[in-house]
């Protein structure tokens, strides 16, 4: 089951994660069965804890970056303020250069915290389809649903493949007449045996009846199977996805064939008596006698905890109102703990900055989002609220631990780690920063402007030479020593610029020497 949000690229990215989440929750439920526990609510709790622990390294890395950003952002904003209103190319280049210097100073970059955050967001997107439709992924739960679906899809089960009615909603009889040439001709007649014109006939199918039921009975289906009148035939997989969202009342209405109150003819009201008859009688499969009513009760029991069905929605007159309230409150506390880590003592400096701070936006969102989540929680199944609550509780516990670990740690520790990482990145391309920044070796490249460089005095036939024929010892300037080269071409540009600087310096020196000689002659 994909996320199905209308973005094929995002679906392509999230689908593997959704399958992985499905595998994890399936094995969690199998482990629960070993202890005789068959409760989906408990499975959601354990699943949420497991995912939070698995993503802890990413969360920790993201929090480390946030701490560095809290220290670094005031300097970045000060540079932006310095060049405010100056849009000429030279000023923009200077501003970018100064900001890059700050990023290098902290061993960071504008994109440093993006990757962990992107991965966490993808995992979040992948979690929801699994939580919304657990029977789709948990095979032992799915088996119960299949026992109800089997008789509905069986051949000769008494459920008509199509039901046709006239303009007044009267059910018509279908008659097939064999012609002399072997072909067949279909006629529709009313209760009096009168033939009805095909222009006055509307036909309905079982799949359409199910589609009308879940759309009119308030059944929440995370990924509703696409339905196209006259051509869609729901498979077992489709029906599992639909029934996964049935509340206790939905199950009772489905088995009892409770009709939808409407003046218009609809597929469900026509098929309801046939469906109810099939589901309220036993059938045999593989030598076992199965009673769909007992299976329904088993499913309701699996979906219920402390007398609450997790596929019901929270109610204002029920204890379930605590679900959205707790979800909102805990999310607020979680956001406050996260912000606490990033507080700095910039208030002491009190420098007015007319540009809005990212922290200001975050503070606003930290108040809006919990309220918004609480409101949304009233419209979703209780199981989703349970997931939000457990997720917030685990996040709060982990956040307290992370805050305690990072609170007293010096930012310079993170800076050193990032700088070391950048150094290894350079070494990956054959660049070694030794002897106060001298390059020990540079990998051979196809770049025309560079053949080979080495910091050792021995040189080689490929070493650059000055006019006297002596090998030049190329050094990277102090300003560029901390650049993080991302490619061979970038390394080449660093050397090329420094080489040009050396040539220009040499030319200036020659001019000065010539001027002195001329002065001497005079």
Report pLDDT digits (tens) over 499-518.
444 444 444 455 445 444 45
Cβ neighbours around 76 below 10 Å, total: 17
Single out the residue of 152, 141, 159 nearest to residue 239, CA to CA: 152
Do 389 and 292 have their domain in common? no
Do 26 and 124 have their domain in common? yes
Do 459 and 498 have their domain in common? yes
What separation, in Å, do the N-terminal and C-terminal C-alpha atoms of the chain show? 91
Cβ atoms of 166 and 196 closer than 8 Å: yes
- CB-side neighbour CA atoms (13 Å) of 198: 3
Q: 267, 286, 306: which is the final residue of a domain? A: 306
Alpha helix positions (H), 342-459: 358-377, 382-407, 411-428
- Rounded to whole angstroms, the Cα distance separating 515 from 181 reads 115
Q: pLDDT-derived band of residue 4, with 50, 70 and 90 as boundaries? A: very low
Report pLDDT digits (tens) over 356-399.
555 566 677 777 888 888 888 888 889 889 999 999 999 899 88
- Residue 244: give the domain boundaries: 140-306
Strand partners, 434: 438
Looking at the predicted structure, is the pLDDT value of residue 284 above 70?
yes
- Measured in degrees and rounded to the nearest 5, phi and psi for residue 38 equal -130, 70
The residues near 304 (Cβ < 8 Å, ≥ 6 apart) are: 39, 248, 310
Task: Specify burial of residue 286 (Cβ count, 10 A radius: 0-12, 13-18, 19+).
Answer: exposed
Cβ atoms of 403 and 341 closer than 8 Å: yes
Do 158 and 283 have their domain in common? yes
Report pLDDT digits (tens) over 64-110.
777 777 778 788 888 888 888 888 888 888 888 888 888 777 767 76
Task: Look at residue 421 and tell me if it is in a domain.
Answer: no
Look at the chain and report how many structural domains it folds into.
Answer: 3
Task: Look at residue 420 and tell me if it is in a domain.
Answer: no
Task: Look at residue 203 and tell me if it is in a domain.
Answer: yes
Task: Look at residue 3 and tell me if it is in a domain.
Answer: no
Task: Look at residue 482 and tell me if it is in a domain.
Answer: yes
Alpha helix positions (H), 303-381: 322-341, 358-377
Task: Look at residue 444 and tell me if it is in a domain.
Answer: yes
pTM, two decimals, is 0.69
Calculate the CA 225 to chain-centre distance.
21
Q: Is the four-CA dihedral 257, 260, 265, 268 of positive or negative sign?
A: negative
Task: Look at residue 424 and tell me if it is in a domain.
Answer: no
The residues near 257 (Cβ < 8 Å, ≥ 6 apart) are: 272, 273, 275, 276, 277
Q: 288, 306, 324: which is the final residue of a domain? A: 306
Do 181 and 298 have their domain in common? yes
Do 207 and 149 have their domain in common? yes
- Rounded to whole angstroms, the Cα distance separating 157 from 243 reads 20
Q: 286, 306, 326: which is the final residue of a domain? A: 306
Task: Look at residue 419 and tell me if it is in a domain.
Answer: no
Q: pLDDT-derived band of residue 8, with 50, 70 and 90 as boundaries? A: low
């Amino acid at each position: 089951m994909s996320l199905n949000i209308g973005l094929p690229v995002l679906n392509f990215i999230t689908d593997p994660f959704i399958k992985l989440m499905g595998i994890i929750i399936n094995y969690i439920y199998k482990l629960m069965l070993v202890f005789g526990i068959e409760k989906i609510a408990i499975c959601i709790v354990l699943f949420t804890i497991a995912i939070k622990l698995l993503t802890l390294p990413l969360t920790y890395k993201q929090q480390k970056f946030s701490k560095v950003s809290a220290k670094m952002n005031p300097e970045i904003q000060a540079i932006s303020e310095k060049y405010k209103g100056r849009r000429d190319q030279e000023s923009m280049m200077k501003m970018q250069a100064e900001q890059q210097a700050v990023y290098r100073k902290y061993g960071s970059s504008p994109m440093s915290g993006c990757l962990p955050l992107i991965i966490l967001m993808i995992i979040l997107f992948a979690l929801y389809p699994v939580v919304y439709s657990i029977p789709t992924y948990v095979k032992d739960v799915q088996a119960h649903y299949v026992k109800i679906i089997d008789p509905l899809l069986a051949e000769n089960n008494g459920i008509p493949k199509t039901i046709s009615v006239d303009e007044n909603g009267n059910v018509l009889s279908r008659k097939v007449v064999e012609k002399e040439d072997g072909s067949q001709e279909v006629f529709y007649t009313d209760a009096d045996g009168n033939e009805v014109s095909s222009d006055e006939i509307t036909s309905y199918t079982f799949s359409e009846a199910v589609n009308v039921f879940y759309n009119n009975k308030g059944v929440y289906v995370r990924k509703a199977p696409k339905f196209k009148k006259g051509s869609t035939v729901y498979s077992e997989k489709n029906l599992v996805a639909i029934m996964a969202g049935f509340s206790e009342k939905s199950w009772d209405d489905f088995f009892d064939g409770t009709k939808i109150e409407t003046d218009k003819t609809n597929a469900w009201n026509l098929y309801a008596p046939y469906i109810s008859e099939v589901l309220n009688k036993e059938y045999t499969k593989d030598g076992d006698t199965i009673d769909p009513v007992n299976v329904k009760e088993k499913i309701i029991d699996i979906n219920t905890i402390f007398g609450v069905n997790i596929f019901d929605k929270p109610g204002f007159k029920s204890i379930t109102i605590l679900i959205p309230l707790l979800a909102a409150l805990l999310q607020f506390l979680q956001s406050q703990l996260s912000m606490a880590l990033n507080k700095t003592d910039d208030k002491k400096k009190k420098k007015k900055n007319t540009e809005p701070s990212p922290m200001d936006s975050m503070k606003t969102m930290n108040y809006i989002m919990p309220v918004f989540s609480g409101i949304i929680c009233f419209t979703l199944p209780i199981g989703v609220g349970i997931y939000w609550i457990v997720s917030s509780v685990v996040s709060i516990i982990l956040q307290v631990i992370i805050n305690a670990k990072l609170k007293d740690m010096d930012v310079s520790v993170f800076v050193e780690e990032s700088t070391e990482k950048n150094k290894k990145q350079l070494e990956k391309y054959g660049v070694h920063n030794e002897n106060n920044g001298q390059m020990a070796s540079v990998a051979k490249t196809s770049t025309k402007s560079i053949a080979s460089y080495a910091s050792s005095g021995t040189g080689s036939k490929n070493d650059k030479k000055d006019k006297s024929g002596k090998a030049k010892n190329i050094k990277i300037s102090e300003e560029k020593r901390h650049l993080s080269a991302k490619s061979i071409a970038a390394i080449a540009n660093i050397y090329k610029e420094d080489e040009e600087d050396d040539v220009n310096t040499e030319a200036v020196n020659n001019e000065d020497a010539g001027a002195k000689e001329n002065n001497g002659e005079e």
